[in-house]
């Protein structure tokens, strides 16, 4: 593959920055869907994170002809039987803000004690190009805090405190978060797969 550009199937600039930091050492540039205004939102009709990741990556590859990568992430809270899970991004309805989703989750966990607020983040990353499909998974376990803490990051970062750390994702700088996060772990695995494949 001579082309060193990969399209990330999202309009989310935070995700694009995270992925660029991990993959740039391979000489790969990640561009987002903001560079392709003709591509609107891609409907996620899968029943699993893996299906959704491949739906997005395949669609973007089909529309651009450029190797594509997509991720789907779910926050699984034990006390809520694994919710919001697959619906994490739209937990509070269609097009919610990050704050809307956090508020709904906080409400659902009202009265649940610290020791029962265990949760895990799960990310699946899918890669699609002319003759290959690859995927990787990353998991980070932790707890949901009782109040949001920190201003950085995005999504549920202000209320997710990974195990063995005394701060939330939103209180970490991007380098520290990338080392331990679900997406960072999935990306490192994907990087290994891509190194082998691109040889």
Q: Please confirm, yes or no, whether 72 is among the known catalytic residues.
A: yes
The residue among 1 and 193 whose pLDDT is bigger is 193
Could you identify the residue written with the tokens 């740039």?
24
Judge residue 87's burial from the number of C-beta atoms within 10 Å of its C-beta, 0-12 exposed, 13-18 middle, 19 or more buried. middle
Q: Which of 35, 71, 72, 173 is catalytic?
A: 72
Mean pLDDT computed over 36-60: 93
CB-based contacts of 162: which residues, under 8 Å, 6+ apart?
140, 141, 142, 169, 180, 181
Contact 34, 13 (CB under 8 A): yes
Residue 171 has phi, psi (to 5 degrees) of -100, 0
State residue 137's pLDDT score: 98
The pLDDT of residue 16 is 86
Does domain 5-198 bear CATH number 3.10.20.90? no
Distance CA 120, CA 170 (A): 16
pTM: predicted TM-score of the whole model, two decimal places: 0.89
């Amino acid at each position: 593959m001579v082309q060193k550009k990969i399209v990330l199937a999202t309009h989310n600039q935070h995700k694009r920055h995270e992925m660029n930091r991990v993959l740039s050492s391979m000489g790969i540039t990640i561009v987002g869907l903001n560079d392709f205004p003709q591509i609107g939102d891609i409907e996620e009709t899968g029943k699993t994170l893996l299906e959704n990741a491949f739906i997005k990556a395949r669609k973007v590859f089909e529309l651009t002809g450029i190797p594509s990568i997509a991720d789907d992430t779910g926050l699984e809270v034990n006390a809520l039987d694994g919710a919001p899970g697959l619906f994490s991004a739209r937990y509070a309805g269609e097009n919610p803000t990050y704050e809307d989703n956090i508020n709904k989750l906080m409400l659902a966990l009202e009265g649940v004690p610290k020791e029962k607020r265990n949760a895990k983040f799960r990310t699946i990353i899918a890669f699609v190009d002319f003759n290959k499909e690859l995927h990787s998974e990353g998991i980070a376990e932790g707890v949901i805090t009782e109040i949001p803490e920190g201003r950085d990051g995005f999504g549920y970062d202000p209320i997710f405190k990974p195990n063995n750390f005394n701060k939330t994702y939103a209180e970490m700088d991007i380098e520290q978060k990338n080392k331990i996060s679900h997406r960072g772990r999935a990306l490192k695995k994907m990087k290994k797969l891509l190194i082998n494949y691109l040889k």
